[in-house]
Amino acid sequence: MSSFSKRHARASSACSRVSLLSRLGILAGAGVLGILPATAFGCACGCGVFDVGTASMFPTHSGVLGFIEYDGIDQDRNWSGTSRAPAADNSDRHIKTDAINVGVQYQINREWGIAVEVPYLHRSATTADMDTGIVSTYTRGAVGDIRIKGIYTGFSPDMSTGITFGIKFANGDHTDPGLEADTQIGSGSTDVLLGAYHLGNLTENKEWRYFLHAQWDEPVSHAAGYRPGRELNGNAGAYYEGWALGPSVKIAPVLQVSVSYRDHDSGDTSMPGDTGYSRVLLTPGVEVDAGKVTAYVDVGLPLVTNVRGNQVVSSQFWRLNLSYRF
């Protein structure tokens, strides 16, 4: 039973980030990431948490931003319902996913933009034969499902409110004989992605700001025998922009609460009784903005986890993003 799913893995991908401090530029931290819900993992594990992020993912003026992001999930504990369960109840014992996402975002003007993201995933899955108890590990690395998204930011002059819309393609490998349907590198499905976000000020001096972001992932076509569950991810958070190191380096602490819901998988090769979950994460992070270069890091810590059946879950969700504004 995998990540948040019995045999796990289908995933949504890692999420975008565009520098959160630079109100004057396409926030370079996960620039494209946030807007483009990043990676297309292939993991029902809960990778969809990377699809939404802080204000650092929203553009504030026209231009080009490139980024590279690392996302990591280490699922090493069996879970059932809202509590830990014996490892012997699940054939999945350990699933580790490392993803490198490379992307570019082009904000054409103050109203329209486009983003493209290409993920590379490395997954290691350890399972136990429920009859013999023999444990084996299979490792696979490959390019995942590519995402292309449009961005509309014309609702207000300051571009503080926007919507995103796009497609996740089914180009990633979803037929590897060493992995089960929900742990494949690719999902085998073409998904429609719809999202919305809003930024605002908490104080008059604009040093404290807040953000809201949500995205819906709906599979509209899929491989025979397996349909990944639809998924909704959202978050709300605040950050402080009053710290600096010298005249050119800004430091912003960030705190956000992320909520995820994933429906169970369906199809002949799926495990509907052991897929699907809901979860709440507390995610502290920090962004360092040095002009054209921005670095962002955060860690997601589960506050509430509720899964169907038995699923292997992670105690932490790591993200590191480096971006450059051209």
DSSP string across 83-122: EE--GGG-SEEEEEEEEEEEEEEEE-SSSEEEEEEEEEEE
Assigned domain for 14 exists: no
Number of domains observed in the structure of the chain: 1
Q: What is the pLDDT at residue 53?
A: 53
Assigned domain for 158 exists: yes
Query: Looking at residue 286, which CATH number applies to its domain?
Result: 2.40.128.130
The residue range of the domain holding 189 is 31-325
Q: Which residues pair with 73 in a beta bridge?
A: 97, 317
**In Å, how far are 134, 151, 307 from 32, measured between CA atoms?**
43, 10, 30
Assigned domain for 234 exists: yes
Distance of CA 87 to the CA centre of its chain: 26
Assigned domain for 41 exists: yes
Q: List Cβ neighbours of 124 (8 Å cut-off, separation of 6 or more).
A: 94, 95, 96, 137, 138, 139
* 145-193 per-position pLDDT tens digit: 999 999 999 998 888 999 999 999 999 999 999 898 889 999 999 999 9
Assigned domain for 74 exists: yes
Length of the chain: 326
Assigned domain for 21 exists: no
Assigned domain for 286 exists: yes
Q: What is the pLDDT along the chain (326 residues), one digit of tens a residue?
A: 444 334 333 333 333 333 333 333 333 333 333 333 333 333 445 555 555 555 555 776 788 989 999 999 999 999 999 999 999 999 999 999 999 999 999 999 999 999 999 999 999 999 999 888 899 999 999 999 999 999 999 998 888 999 999 999 999 999 999 898 889 999 999 999 999 999 999 998 889 999 999 999 999 999 888 999 999 999 999 999 889 888 889 999 999 999 999 999 999 988 899 999 999 999 999 999 998 899 999 999 999 999 999 999 999 999 999 989 88
Do residues 60 and 20 lie in contact, with contact meaning Cβ atoms separated by under 8 Å?
Answer: no
Q: What is the pLDDT at residue 133?
A: 84
Q: What is the pLDDT at residue 301?
A: 96
Assigned domain for 228 exists: yes
Quick one: DSSP state of residue 35? H
Provide the 3-class DSSP secondary structure of residue 182. helix
Q: What is the pLDDT at residue 246?
A: 83
* HSE-up of residue 108 (Cα within 13 Å, Cβ side): 9
> What is the C-alpha separation between 101 and 280, in angstroms, rounded?
24
Q: Other CB atoms closer than 10 Å to residue 276's CB: what's the count?
A: 24
